[in-house]
Structure 1
């Protein structure tokens, strides 16, 4: 097991300690800048914590494949460092998978979960092949195809180029590989039925990776799930449609914050 000291993770916290708290978990191959535009739309109503997951951004590369339990432990350490008692946890794609596993392990710390671009988990075959390509040829071996698939029919504009060049391409290949190889060992089927907190599945209407049938299947697994669609969002909805995602997060946090007050 590796260290779980949040001081070695690159994290940021904004907002009052008395405000409703939100923790943001980015997608695979991203970093905390993934959330910049959405946070700008959310205003100052919330206390927001976000961090570069291990092996991404300015956080250190894990010393071995980083398991789901270790990702959950990282989230818990950031929560403590951010002085958050209870929170809504928001994750995109595999970040959302980590969020559900965190909610399962620490239900007393979670008011609700927002699972953006819902997925069962990191597909073992597809992601093992992707990790091998990255180790052989660096991030450039997958960058164009991965971002094109994630953006789908959305414009290949400056936001597309920024994601490819300044987010995905800046990810450490070894960090990417070790993250994938740890995450493919788990998917949400094992725990979904035990998640009692409210879960919003915030899905991109233009997402061709996690389609509507997958979203419906996940919704059927979770005891307290609702579904909302982001019309101009593809596979990275908070990055691609930040205003719409900010509105959805704001409304859900407000509603569940009231409902879970004790």
Structure 2
């Protein structure tokens, strides 16, 4: 897959969350530019994403996908792929869960909290894969300093409905059918705004790029080929 890839990881994640997926697509690290989510407002990322060019692919996961969605009306990319995205404003229960996570991690540390939490964030097959859990915990330990800003970003953002309706790039949503954090009905609603493409992955939870990298890669490859965008 030729071209430059912009990587926007999620809460408590590094760009490592995309590694199995990018490997399946034969995308090299030299092609990638990671955007660190360390600022508390959607607009804080405008200057970085202003550098996205026509031949680039933007790959967002979870909170990173939400940030990407809020810039769809400005970015003109080869494709924007939103994985495990819920681009609507938080409901009260979701906001409360974010604040609770921040409080627990502040008190107990990321390893203890995420070791207990990750099995509920993945699909049935991935719960038996300790390597997936180890990656999730390790990423949380590397990014815990960014959690206050990430929590504020998630709480403060409005819904991205206007940007979805006026997207300037082809958009693909990929969501796991077992995703509890960003349920598939939210992705279905979001994709319908603007007539974007949606792929639901059976058996997968929230951490799709780690749980089902091959399925994600196949969805992305088909999306690019279907639009005549694969310029390998």
Identify the residue that residue 79 of structure 2 maps to in structure 1.
112
The 5 Å alignment of 1:128-207 reads: 128-140=99-111, 142-154=113-125, 155-172=127-144, 174-186=145-157, 187-207=159-179
Long gaps (5+) in structure 1:
1-14, 56-64
SS in 2 for 1:23: strand
SS in 2 for 1:228: strand
Alignment counterpart, residue 63 of structure 2, candidates 75, 94, 113: 94
Conserved? CA contact 1:118–1:203, under 8 Å: yes
**Larger RCO, structures 1/2 (Cα 8 Å, 6+ apart):** 2
- Give the root-mean-square deviation of aligned CA atoms: 2.7
SS in 2 for 1:215: helix
Conserved? CA contact 2:4–2:33, under 8 Å: no
TM-score, reference length from structure 1: 0.74
Equivalent-residue separation in structure 1 for 2:80 and 2:223 (angstroms): 9
SS in 1 for 2:44: helix
Conserved? CA contact 1:112–1:256, under 8 Å: no
Q: Against the structure 1 CA distance between its residues 137 and 66, is the aligned structure 2 distance closer, same or farther, given a 3 Å change threshold?
A: same
Equivalent-residue separation in structure 2 for 1:177 and 1:184 (angstroms): 11
SS in 2 for 1:170: helix
Q: CA deviation at 1:125?
A: 2.5
Alignment counterpart, residue 18 of structure 2, candidates 18, 28, 35: 35
1:169-193 CA-to-partner distances (Å, cap 9, x unmatched) read 3322x31111211232113234322
1:183-208 CA-to-partner distances (Å, cap 9, x unmatched) read 32113234322224322111112223
Alignment counterpart, residue 26 of structure 1, candidates 9, 20, 39: 9
Equivalent-residue separation in structure 2 for 1:212 and 1:182 (angstroms): 22
Q: CA deviation at 1:54?
A: 3.8
Q: Against the structure 1 CA distance between its residues 170 and 229, is the aligned structure 2 distance closer, same or farther, given a 3 Å change threshold?
A: same
TM-score, reference length from structure 2: 0.82
Identify the residue that residue 201 of structure 2 maps to in structure 1.
230
1:219-257 CA-to-partner distances (Å, cap 9, x unmatched) read 22x213121122242101111111111111122233335
Query: Number of paired residues?
Result: 224
Equivalent-residue separation in structure 2 for 1:113 and 1:37 (angstroms): 18
Equivalent-residue separation in structure 1 for 2:138 and 2:219 (angstroms): 26
